């Protein structure tokens, strides 16, 4: 495995949680509503674009940007989102996501304070949510902090021995029926991504077929919504999944360090998906199929020919989200 690949993938869990959130926020901060704000309302929608819709939108914004305003803004949005236009509904959901991403780093810092972590870990049981953890602690200050984290739109995960908040995209699903199609699809992609994280401690923790199916979902999104406000985020995801597919991660390499052979589960997973989805029109699967032809020719060993193919067709520098 090349040093450039190791460098590209050597990202700690905190980087995944906070830096990725900041990157996503920066991608939307320059033109946070492009592709949505400029969208023309349909004639049907224009009939419901009333002063009351605009008033709700402005009230939501004023609540959202108050200190610790995430829980109240979300509650307000949930109770009013069916009273506004699809245009305003989509803007508010995007703004809520932006605000949660921005606040995630500060919430992470608060939960990683040593005495707070000690109390949390002492009460924690496998797969606990913030709610379950709240039920197990008698510390009123800790309960209040956990409640704030939950109500601010985060979920609890254990990563590398510490408890972290991450974005809870499942909390956005309640809005998907009343917002624009591309953002609804984006939320479903991100819900799957954060409900079952793909990696932990430098290792893949989802199956090889699941990796491919997620990549295909991301590819389809970009095909259908190339100008979406969230196209860049989904492209970054697809870049990561491309590296997962063709290289693996440091602690779960695609080719075993000792034998230099493709790991058996990857062989079965990749061949199974390629066979099952042979009729699907996909640039990603076409590239994988070509790769597997080369790998099979080398008897699943990472030969010079395989490395040359990877350097030519999947160069790490083209897919690493630096």
276 backbone φψ class: left, alpha, beta (φ>0; ψ -120 to 50): alpha
In our burial notation (b when 16+ CB lie closer than 10 A, e otherwise), range 110-143 reads ebeeeebbebbeebbeeebebeebbeebeeeebb
pLDDT at residue 14, rounded to an integer: 52
Q: What is the pTM of this model?
A: 0.86
The pLDDT profile of the chain, 322 residues, written as one tens digit per residue, is 444 443 333 334 554 454 455 445 544 443 444 444 444 444 445 455 678 999 999 999 999 999 889 999 999 999 999 999 999 999 999 999 999 999 999 999 999 999 999 999 999 999 999 999 999 999 999 999 999 999 999 999 999 899 999 999 999 999 999 999 999 999 999 999 999 999 998 999 999 999 999 999 999 999 999 999 999 999 999 999 999 999 999 999 999 999 999 999 999 999 999 999 999 999 999 999 999 999 999 999 999 999 999 999 999 999 997 6
């Amino acid at each position: 495995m090349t040093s450039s690949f190791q460098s590209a993938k050597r990202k700690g869990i905190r980087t995944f949680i906070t830096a990725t959130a900041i990157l996503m926020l920066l991608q939307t901060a320059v033109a946070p509503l492009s592709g949505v704000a400029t969208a023309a309302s349909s004639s049907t929608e224009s009939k419901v674009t009333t002063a009351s819709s605009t008033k709700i939108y402005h009230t939501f914004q004023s609540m959202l940007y108050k200190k610790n305003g995430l829980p109240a803004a979300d509650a307000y949005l949930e109770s009013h989102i069916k009273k506004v236009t699809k245009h305003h509904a989509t803007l508010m959901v995007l703004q809520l996501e932006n605000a949660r991403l921005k606040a995630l780093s500060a919430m992470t810092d608060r939960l990683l304070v040593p005495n707070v972590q000690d109390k949390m870990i002492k009460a924690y049981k496998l797969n606990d949510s913030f709610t379950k953890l709240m039920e197990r602690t008698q510390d009123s200050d800790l309960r209040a902090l956990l409640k704030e984290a939950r109500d601010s739109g985060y979920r609890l995960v254990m990563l590398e021995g510490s408890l972290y908040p991450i974005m809870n995209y499942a909390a956005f699903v309640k809005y998907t029926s009343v917002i624009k199609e591309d953002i609804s699809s984006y939320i479903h992609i991100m819900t799957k991504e954060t409900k079952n994280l793909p990696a932990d401690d430098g290792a893949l923790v989802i199956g090889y077929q699941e990796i491919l199916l997620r990549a295909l979902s991301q590819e389809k999104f970009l095909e259908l919504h190339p100008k979406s406000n969230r196209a860049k985020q989904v492209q970054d995801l697809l870049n990561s999944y491309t590296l997962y597919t063709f290289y693996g991660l440091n602690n779960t390499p695609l080719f075993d360090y000792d034998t230099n052979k493709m790991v058996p589960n990857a062989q079965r997973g990749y061949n199974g998906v390629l066979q099952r989805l042979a009729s699907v029109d996909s640039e990603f699967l076409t590239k994988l199929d070509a790769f597997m032809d080369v790998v099979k020719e080398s008897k699943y060993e990472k030969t010079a020919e395989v490395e040359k193919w990877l350097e030519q067709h999947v160069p790490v520098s083209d897919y690493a989200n630096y």
